[in-house]
Homo-oligomer: A and B are copies of this chain.
Amino acid sequence: MEKHDFFRTDLLVEHEEMVKHRTEQEKKTLKESEGILFEEKRTGRVIITSVKINAEGEERIGKKAGTYLTLTVPTLFPTDQDGMEEMTEVMISKLSEMTSEIANFEKSKVLLIGLGNREVTPDAVGPLTMDRLKELVPHYYSDDGSRLFVYAPGVTIQTGLETADFVIAMTQQIEPDILIVVDALAARDSSRLCKTIQITDTGIHPGSGVGNSRKEISKETLGVPVIAIGIPTVVDGPVLIADAINTLFSYIGSKIEEESHPSSRLSVSPWLRSDNKDADPTKLIPIFGDWASWPHEERIQLFEEVLSNHDLNTFISPKEIDSWVYQYADLLSKALKAWMEKK
């Protein structure tokens, strides 16, 4: 994992969150002219969120130009074969789109790298995906050498070498036409935990989340197109707690609404908590006090401060994390295999 979290510590997240809380009407007014193209659509059960930033947008919001894709099945569960298959299909088509401009594609050399520590279950999704892809190598092997290269180098604390330096060394040796990295992520929102695939062509910064030197893995630093695929498998304790409190406030808020407008019973879904965003927070104040009216981010910050030396200030994962991680390793390896074959 090495907490690079391209979606997490950077401005895009806040931008995106901001976008999320806008009404449909408002979303449509985010025009390309501003340098940011936001799009959300649904294919079967999969919600596909795409944010494209061009040079103008990069300058405006300070977030690197490129494409940021999020595939989510809000109702996914650990043994949900159908949901996993729908995500696989969408992922294959999105990967193909994002790599369509690579010249001489069918003969290109591909380097796949699974980041993370295979001995820490929620961090093992990258290495386990590579385990399932190793068996493809012989199919792409000829007298000229291989067209497919697969590595799961482990993390710096196991190998001694910074992950970015490993990737640089391999890229120089292999000279691939494209580099694809798979990694586990920390979820920014507990409702996305284990239900989302994030794909970007802007590269990643292994170690960024933990204050390590931020050597970038990107087209700019390697001279090779980079696709980063991330699965949020852990969530910060403070984020999870603040999310639960949000859900509580929404729930109580809608109960209060129901009483005053009994005809409009809202169903509260955890995923679509913004549904209820118009509930009047002032009605919650008698029960929950002033902080019910604070922005969500401020409650997260409060918990981060309070829990800073506390056990709860840790990354947390669901009890079924073993099952989730195996499923995503299956999903990602299937999608990457199909993408290789389509090339």
Q: Contact flags (1/0) for A239-272 with B, using CB distance below 8 Å?
A: 0110111011001100000000000000000100
Q: Given A134-B159, A288-B291, A321-B121, answer yes or no on A303-B173 (Cβ-Cβ < 8 Å).
A: no
A255–B38 Cα distance when bound, in Å, is 44
Q: Which of B240, B285, B292, B319 contacts A122 (CB 8 A)?
A: B319
Q: Is residue A146 contacting chain B, with contact meaning CB distance below 8 A?
A: yes
Q: Contact flags (1/0) for A301-327 with B, using CB distance below 8 Å?
A: 011001100111011111111110000
Which residues of A in the span 138-183 have a Cβ within 8 Å of any Cβ on B? 138, 140-141, 145-151, 153-154, 156-162, 165-166, 168-170, 172-174
Q: Tell whether, in the assembled complex, residue A319 and residue B120 are in contact, meaning their CB atoms are under 8 Å apart.
A: yes
A307–B316 Cα distance when bound, in Å, is 17
Q: Tell whether, in the assembled complex, residue B270 and residue A322 are in contact, meaning their CB atoms are under 8 Å apart.
A: no
In the complex, chain B residues whose CB is within 8 Å of the CB of A247: 306-307, 310, 312
In the complex, chain B residues whose CB is within 8 Å of the CB of A120: 319-320, 322-323
Q: Which of chain B's residues has its CB closest to A154's CB?
A: B134
Chain copies in complex: 4
Q: Is residue A137 contacting chain B, with contact meaning CB distance below 8 A?
A: yes
A138–B79 Cα distance when bound, in Å, is 13
Q: Contact flags (1/0) for A33-48 with B, using CB distance below 8 Å?
A: 0000000000000000
Q: Which of B147, B311, B317 contacts A270 (CB 8 A)?
A: B311
Q: Which of B251, B252, B314 contacts A319 (CB 8 A)?
A: B314
Q: Is residue A211 contacting chain B, with contact meaning CB distance below 8 A?
A: no
Q: Contact flags (1/0) for A278-298 with B, using CB distance below 8 Å?
A: 000000111111111000000
Q: Is residue A190 contacting chain B, with contact meaning CB distance below 8 A?
A: yes
Q: Is residue A217 contacting chain B, with contact meaning CB distance below 8 A?
A: no
Q: Given A289-B288, A322-B119, answer yes or no on A240-B312 (Cβ-Cβ < 8 Å).
A: yes
Q: Is residue A336 contacting chain B, with contact meaning CB distance below 8 A?
A: no
A149–B166 Cα distance when bound, in Å, is 11
In the complex, chain B residues whose CB is within 8 Å of the CB of A329: none
Footprint of B on A, CB under 8 Å?
Answer: 119-123, 134-135, 137-138, 140-141, 145-151, 153-154, 156-162, 165-166, 168-170, 172-174, 190-191, 193, 234, 237-238, 240-241, 243-245, 247-248, 251-252, 270, 284-292, 302-303, 306-307, 310-312, 314-323
Please give 7 more A-B residue pairs, beta carbons under 8 A apart, in addition to A134-B158, A166-B173, A317-B319: A137-B159, A146-B156, A160-B174, A169-B170, A247-B307, A287-B289, A316-B319
Can you pick out 19 interface pairs between chain A and chain B where the beta carbons lie within 8 Å of each other?
A: A120-B323, A145-B160, A147-B160, A169-B173, A172-B172, A191-B311, A238-B244, A240-B240, A241-B244, A244-B312, A247-B312, A248-B306, A285-B289, A286-B290, A288-B288, A311-B318, A314-B318, A316-B317, A317-B317
